[in-house]
Amino acid sequence: MYFSRITFNTATMDPNEFVALSKGDLYAIHTVLWRLFPDDPDAKRDFLFRKAINNSWPFFYMVSQRQPQAPNKTIKIETKVYQPRLDLGHHLSFNLRVNPVITKKNSTGKRIRHDVVMNNKCNCAYPFSIEDRISSGQLEHTAGITWLSARAEQMGCEFDTEALRVYGYQQHRFKSRKQKELIKFSSLDFSGRLIVTEPDKFRHALFNGIGPAKAFGCGLMLVRRT
């Protein structure tokens, strides 16, 4: 596996493309990152990525099975082999963006994905007093912690829920050039601390991502030792 940091030379980059990346145009981002793997254009996506901002300029972190290649001098790629040493009981800080969903059956028995934040808001029975109503931030926090904690065992870790930050809830809607239907998903950000309980499972989560919408910048967990 490879871990990469991808930056752009704004002086030589197509202005329209750079504006699209800066605004978070998910189709443009998807297109630009696919160009970094020209050796097999028919291959399935085998990378995770996460958009970040530095001094108002976008850049990307990426974990990939293949080593990305810069197609021109506009793109700079810093890459290293990604073989994290993980032992039982390791304490790590982490940062994560996910598409948090739960699956429910509708009236016809079909399994449908639901945004956990909106599901939590719809299920919340508000009290009569406006002052006592639960804020949207509290609902997002509760829904996020519940969703992530339910996946801890499968991920091979244990989260410090007291130190867990839940923030950045967004709803995304866009169309690709190949699809007529609107693509819709939500994202939620987490940061905090965890303990590795099963190193092999946790390594699998780092390499393969967490949750759906990985093609749109969700699922990549960034970690460092504490």
DSSP string, 48-99: EEEEEEETTEEEEEEEESSPP--SSTTEEEEEEE------TT-EEEEEEEE-
Beta partners for residue 47, in sequence order: 64
Cβ within 8 Å of residue 196, ≥6 positions away: 86, 87, 88, 89, 90, 92, 156, 157, 202
User: What CA–CA distance (Å, rounded) separates 102 from 80?
Assistant: 35
- CB of 112 closer than 8 Å to CB of 104: yes
Indicate the length of the chain as a whole number.
226
179, 7, 208, 41: CA torsion to nearest 10: 50
Task: Give 173-220 pLDDT, tens digit per residue.
Answer: 877 666 677 888 999 999 999 999 999 999 999 999 999 999 999 999
pLDDT of residue 106: 67
Q: Give residue 5's pLDDT.
A: 97
Q: At what angle do helices 15-22 and 26-34 cross, to 10 degrees?
A: 120
Local structure of 132: helix, strand or coil: helix
The pLDDT, as a whole number, for residue 121 is 66
For the sheet containing 47-54, what is the strand order? 47-54, 57-64, 2-8, 75-81
pLDDT at residue 135 in the model: 67
Q: What is the pLDDT of residue 124?
A: 56
pLDDT at 214: 94
Domains, the chain = 2-81 (3.30.70.1200), 91-225 (3.30.70.1210)
Q: Which residues of 2-19 are buried (b: 16+ CB within 10 A; e: fewer)?
A: bbbebebeeeebeeeebe
Task: Check residue 218 and give its pLDDT.
Answer: 96
Helix (H, G, I), strand (E, B) or coil at 220: coil
Residue pair 20/31 in contact (Cβ under 8 Å)? The answer is: no
What are the pLDDT tens digits along the chain (226 aa)?
999 999 988 778 788 777 777 777 877 888 889 989 988 767 888 999 999 988 878 899 999 999 999 988 889 999 999 999 999 999 999 999 999 988 776 667 677 777 888 776 666 544 444 444 456 778 888 889 999 999 999 999 999 999 999 999 998 887 766 667 788 899 999 999 999 999 999 999 999 999 999 999 999 999 999 8
CA 88 to chain centre: 25
